[in-house]
Amino acid sequence: MQTLPEILGAIVLEAAHSLVPGLEVRGPVVQATADAAHGDYQTNLAFRLTKALRLPPTACAEALAQALPDHPAVRSVEVAGKGFLNLRLHDAWLADALLALTGGDELDLPSPGQGRTVVVDYGSPNVAKRMHVGHLRSTNIGDALVKMWRALGYTVLGDNHIGDWGTQFGKLIVAWDRWRDEAAFEADAIGELERIYVKFAQETGPELEDLARENTARLQAGDPELTALWERFVRASLEEFDAVYERMGVRFDLTLGESFFQPMLAPIVAELLDRGIAEVDDGAVVVRFDKADGKGLGDAPMLIRKRDGAALYATTDLAALRYREQQWDPDHVVYVTDMRQQLHFRQVFAGARKAALTDAELEHVWFGMLSLPEGAMATRKGNVIRLGKLLDEAATRSRAVVDTKSPELPEAERAAIAEAVGVSAVRYADLSQNPQSNVTFDWDRMLALEGNTAPFLMYSYARCCSVQRKAGLVQREVSGLHLGEPAERELALALLRYPEALITALAARRPNMLCEALFGLAGSFNRFWYQVPVLRAEADQRAARLALVEATARVLGHGMRLVGIHTLERM
Ligand code: ARG
């Protein structure tokens, strides 16, 4: 179905075109009003008619109001301010529209993504190293974007571009031979790999460096023994990563690490040289840019082969892009990483354009840094922590909340709730912030039951379910909606605004805008719940209100799942 702004925008445009045929309008025609006193939506289109009509804005607004076609959605129109038009929707029409949105097995959302394919490169931690909090953000934001695109009908391929190749493996193998502790590796593989890697750095000298280079070369040439060792490192790392993904409920469609693209690197460098897109510079190979390729790129050539012949991070990204083009013919390829990789991606995109590797739109969605609260969780380096430990800590802290709030529930259920609340709270604390701002975790705030938090949304959702349980409903359905009370109307409107919130948040690449809409929606639901009797209402009214509760559960639950929050029926 169409969103409210689409429906109303079309009505207003029809009127405008009847006054000024051929009028071109860019951008949204109507905006949601902040204050219900100004109606539900407002348009400033009159201001864009003044020239053609040679009338002041208020007169244009009057004319526009007169020309507005009859439509069942619109109850009243009024000219306001210096030429705005305020539109108010019909309650009965709202009820019908809400039924259309929520009445089926799935929400009837618009499907602008029909026939379009997006590849999302996100998560992407490096093997043999702790996943750091930057990867937490990439995983969180990437996963939310993937789910939002999917909800709007796009075909999405989520690809975990893990860093599983590079010279660090030559070093790790040397270190493994000399200093490994198998038992420590069994207990904590990444911890042990990090320990011996640090040891290598401390002990290093020309002899060890030579050995490391030799190992890297042997590994790249496919030496079976070293390959087996490398695989062991990779597998152990992926196990730890997978445990975190599992707890977070994140599933990648693909995990093609950097190693997957190795065979394609030498050929692509040769080809770019051949076509004159790359050039040799002091033994290395670079792609040079000029002003036309992008601001500042003129001074930043992209290195794609070192003097020793080794390929680089950028080379892999070029090869991966060509591969993605050939495999999936995407309309759009999106990379989600922290802000420090902006130059890298500008170079890769400029290089890919020069070489015509893909006709997809390329986009880097970058995010700011995330810091953890001072104290126990931070390690020496500040932000390299085990994400599993972070989630454990969140679960322990939520357990205290659950124990106070629901002491009557059985032990096992409280433990499960605490895990769900903890993980959801961590994800939401990240996602509810503008991605581009820096974020600091604050345990008390993210676990608060009031405010824009995961627990608040979770309790609101659970309340919907508990009302239904208390009503003894066998089948939960949305039917017989009727909007009488202002709080009912407010809630219905908040629900109907969900599709536009989803579209706007995705277009801005800001899941936090969706979070805000969900927070607003949960607020409307709670006001409704406190102001309007549901279980104690008379038969017809009771059924209509229970239907509104069910519509809330469906919309709120949908949005919560998009931003990675568990929807528990009882808490
Ligand atoms: N592994 C990289 C890192 O940890 C991120 C990879 C992002 N994706 C890409 N195609 N370059 O910084």
pLDDT tens per residue across span 461-489 = 999 999 999 998 878 899 889 999 999 99
C-beta separation of 297 from 343 below 8 A: no
**Average pLDDT score over residue span 386-408:** 91
- Residues 10, 420: Cα–Cα separation, whole Å: 43
Q: Which residue CA neighbors atom 6 of ligand 1 most closely?
A: 124
Task: Please give the pLDDT value at position 374.
Answer: 62
Separation of CA 462 and ligand 1 centre (Å)? 38
Domain closes at, from 89, 113, 139: 89
Confidence of residue 539 (pLDDT cuts 50, 70, 90): confident
Separation of CA 252 and ligand 1 centre (Å)? 15
450 found inside a domain? yes
| Token pair for 488 | 């009912």
| Token pair for 207 | 């002899």
Question: Best mutation site among 119, 120, 161, 363 for ligand 1, i.e. most ligand atoms within 8 A of its Cβ?
Answer: 161
Map residue 290 onto helix, strand or coil.
coil
Beta strands at 84-89 and 41-43: parallel, antiparallel or unpaired: antiparallel
Question: Best mutation site among 341, 347, 363 for ligand 1, i.e. most ligand atoms within 8 A of its Cβ?
Answer: 341
- Residues 376, 176: Cα–Cα separation, whole Å: 30
Task: Please give the pLDDT value at position 208.
Answer: 94
Beta strands at 30-32 and 370-371: parallel, antiparallel or unpaired: unpaired
Domain that holds residue 550: 387-562
Task: Please give the pLDDT value at position 380.
Answer: 45
- Residues 409, 411: Cα–Cα separation, whole Å: 7
* Structure confidence by residue, pLDDT tens digits, 553-565: 999 999 999 999 9
Per-position DSSP letters for 62-131, written without gaps between them = HHHHHHPPP-TTEEEEEEETTTEEEEEE-HHHHHHHHHHHHSSSS-----TTTT-EEEEE---PBTTS--
CA dihedral 299, 305, 308, 309 (to 10 degrees): -170
Q: What one-character DSSP code corresponds to residue 311?
A: B
Q: What is the CATH number of the domain that holds 516?
A: 1.10.730.10
Q: Which residue CA neighbors atom 4 of ligand 1 most closely?
A: 125
Separation of CA 491 and ligand 1 centre (Å)? 42
Task: Please give the pLDDT value at position 384.
Answer: 59
Strand partners, 363: 334
Separation of CA 135 and ligand 1 centre (Å)? 9
Q: What is the CATH number of the domain that holds 67?
A: 3.30.1360.70
Percent of the chain with pLDDT over 90: 88
- The tally of domains found in the chain comes to 2
- Residues 209, 310: Cα–Cα separation, whole Å: 15
Separation of CA 156 and ligand 1 centre (Å)? 19
The pLDDT of residue 386 is above 80: no
- Residues 441, 370: Cα–Cα separation, whole Å: 8
**Burial of 220 (C-beta count, 10 Å sphere; 0-12/13-18/19+):** buried
444 found inside a domain? yes
* Structure confidence by residue, pLDDT tens digits, 185-221: 999 999 999 999 999 999 989 999 999 999 999 998 8
Separation of CA 163 and ligand 1 centre (Å)? 7
Closest ligand 1 atom to residue 338 Cα is 12
The pLDDT of residue 376 is above 50: no
- Residues 193, 99: Cα–Cα separation, whole Å: 56
Separation of CA 440 and ligand 1 centre (Å)? 22
Per-position DSSP letters for 362-426, written without gaps between them = EEEEEE--EEPPSSTT--TTSS---HHHHHHHHHHHHHHHHHHH-TTS-HHHHHHHHHHHHHHHH
Q: Which residue CA neighbors atom 3 of ligand 1 most closely?
A: 125
Ligand 1 proximal residues by C-beta, below 6 Å:
121, 124-126, 161, 163, 317, 335, 337
Task: Please give the pLDDT value at position 142.
Answer: 98
399 found inside a domain? yes
Closest ligand 1 atom to residue 132 Cα is 4
84 found inside a domain? yes
Q: Which residue CA neighbors atom 8 of ligand 1 most closely?
A: 161
Q: What's the pTM value of the predicted model, to 2 decimals?
A: 0.95
Q: Which residue CA neighbors atom 12 of ligand 1 most closely?
A: 125
- Residues 107, 527: Cα–Cα separation, whole Å: 23
Higher-pLDDT residue of 246 and 166 is 246
427 found inside a domain? yes
Whose tokens are 């990379």? That residue is 335
**Average predicted confidence (pLDDT) for the chain:** 94
- Residues 376, 372: Cα–Cα separation, whole Å: 10
- Name the least confident of 26-35, 222-231, 367-376: 367-376
Q: Which residue CA neighbors atom 7 of ligand 1 most closely?
A: 124
Higher-pLDDT residue of 75 and 378 is 75
Domain closes at, from 33, 61, 89: 89
210 found inside a domain? no
- Residues 41, 35: Cα–Cα separation, whole Å: 10
- Residues 330, 547: Cα–Cα separation, whole Å: 41
* Structure confidence by residue, pLDDT tens digits, 407-464: 999 999 999 999 999 999 999 999 999 999 998 889 999 999 999 999 999 999 999 9
The pLDDT of residue 375 is above 60: no
Quickly list H helices, 252-386: 262-274, 313-328, 342-354
| Token pair for 378 | 């931070």
Distance of CA 106 to the CA centre of its chain: 21
* Structure confidence by residue, pLDDT tens digits, 307-323: 988 899 999 999 999 99
Task: Please give the pLDDT value at position 423.
Answer: 97
Q: Which residue CA neighbors atom 11 of ligand 1 most closely?
A: 317
- Residues 462, 417: Cα–Cα separation, whole Å: 12
| Token pair for 401 | 């909340």
Separation of CA 161 and ligand 1 centre (Å)? 6
C-beta separation of 566 from 423 below 8 A: yes
213 found inside a domain? no
Task: Please give the pLDDT value at position 266.
Answer: 95
The pLDDT of residue 264 is above 80: yes
Question: Best mutation site among 120, 121, 124 for ligand 1, i.e. most ligand atoms within 8 A of its Cβ?
Answer: 124
558 found inside a domain? yes
Closest ligand 1 atom to residue 163 Cα is 1
Separation of CA 88 and ligand 1 centre (Å)? 49
Separation of CA 361 and ligand 1 centre (Å)? 19
Domain closes at, from 89, 105, 120: 89
SS3 for 151-170 is: HCCCEEEEECCCECCCCHHH
C-beta separation of 314 from 303 below 8 A: yes
* Structure confidence by residue, pLDDT tens digits, 342-374: 999 999 999 999 999 999 999 999 999 888 766
Task: Please give the pLDDT value at position 441.
Answer: 86
Separation of CA 264 and ligand 1 centre (Å)? 18
Question: Best mutation site among 165, 337, 366 for ligand 1, i.e. most ligand atoms within 8 A of its Cβ?
Answer: 337
Closest ligand 1 atom to residue 335 Cα is 8
